[in-house]
Structure 1
Amino acid sequence: MPHTWLVVGLGNPGPRYEKTRHNVGQMVLDELAARRGAVFRVHKANARTAETWLRPGADKLVLAKPNSFMNVSGGPAAGLARFFGVDPGRVVVVHDELDIPFDTIKLKSGGGHGGHNGVRDVAKALGTADFPRVRVGIGRPPGRQDPADWVLDPFGSAERATLAAHLSDAADAVETLIEHGLVAAQQRFHAPPAS
Structure 2
Amino acid sequence: MFTAEFLITSFIVVLIPGTGVVFTVSTGIAQGRRASFFASVGCTLGIFPHLLATIFGLAAVMHTSALAFQVLKYAGVAYLLYLAVATWRDRSAFAVQPMLGNSSATSLVTKAFLLNILNPKLTIFFLAFLPQFVQPGAASPLVQLLGLSAVFMAMTFAVFITYGLLAHAFRKVVIESPRAQAWLRRAFAAAFAGLAVQLARAER
Q: TM-score range by the shorter chain?
A: under 0.3
Answer 1 or 2: which has greater helix percent: 2
State which structure, 1 or 2, has the greater radius of gyration over its C-alpha atoms.
2
The one of the two structures with greater contact order (alpha-carbon pairs below 8 A, sep at least 6) is 2
TM-score under structure 2 length normalisation: 0.27
